[in-house]
Amino acid sequence: MEAVLERRADPPQQVVVDTGNEGQRIDNFLMTRLKGVPRSRIYRTVRTGEVRVNGGRIRPDYRLRQGDVVRIPPLRVAQSPPAARPGARALREIGEAVLYEDRSLLVLAKPSGLAVHGGSGLSHGVIELLRALRPEAPFLELVHRLDRDTSGCLMVAKRRPALRTLHQALREGRVEKTYLALVRGDWRAARGVAMPLQRNVLRSGERVVRPDEDGKGALTRFAPLARSPLATLVKAQPVTGRTHQIRVHAAHAGHPIAGDAKYGDAELNRNLRALGLRRLFLHAHGLRFPHPDGDATVEVVAPLPEDLRAVLAALGLEAP
């Protein structure tokens, strides 16, 4: 149950951003300053203008610059029972999911069904599990995000300078992401889908993304790997990083992703459920990025999970 929020009589904080927080998203910055405040409440505080940067309103994805003055409203969380510690099985699974690690970062294979962070009724996501598993770690922060139902490669920074450098690499398009997706129908040729996307938040709080010429530019490259009359396994490479981008672009191209309850095809999902598909068939298969500490290039691959391999086998398709 979400804790009750109370407004204090104290004046708002005026925080000047230093080099240590430069480049950080405002929502993540506020999470560290407003301990215990649910992320949903932080987003609402930003949207209503209670949080301001240099006197003006900003979006939750605004990235801080050195010297910015952030107005933080005086919120506190009423006393509530402490969150339950994650179970030993969950901690063991997240520990075994690490694919690559050095002093600055780690990459793990996120399981489908596990959110990257807690909130919206979830006590623990990937980052909370990692912090519970490694209480001695001084710094663990998500570099990017994956949808809850998407499996595969997820980067976590272990040092703030690494986080800033990797965020810059993401903004400059120097991080190559490769996904595997099973889509409806016989997709025969490689193609790029360039369609601006607009993110909307429904009154229920659910995020929905739609193609919109007035939205933000977005480009995804698709290439077929294995085909059957019912579905095609494709490689998807997002050039931009919009919310739900691959899912919406695949649906816009006439080939929605199998198992997608939000943007997908209900009949396809029923047919593939009979073959064992119980979730979204979208897997973050590989990452290629410049190491934040030097000139080396890091490449990490997360093998396709067994449940998705079984679905491909049932369709007579070979898994990569």
| Catalytic residue IDs | 147
- Which SS3 state, helix, strand or coil, does residue 97 take? coil
Q: What are phi and psi of 128, to 5 degrees?
A: -65, -40
b/e burial code for range 257-294 (CB count within 10 A of at least 16 → b): bbbbebbbbeebbeebeeeebebbbbbbbbbebbbbee
Which tokens go with 147? 């949808």
Q: How far is CA 55 from the centre of its chain?
A: 29
Q: Which residue has the tokens 């999970």?
A: 305
The two beta strands, 282-290 and 176-184, are antiparallel
Rounded Cα gap, residues 138 and 123, in angstroms: 21
How far apart CA 136 and CA 66 sit, in angstroms, is 29
Which residues neighbour 61 within 8 Å (Cβ) at sequence distance 6 or greater? Answer: 25, 26, 27
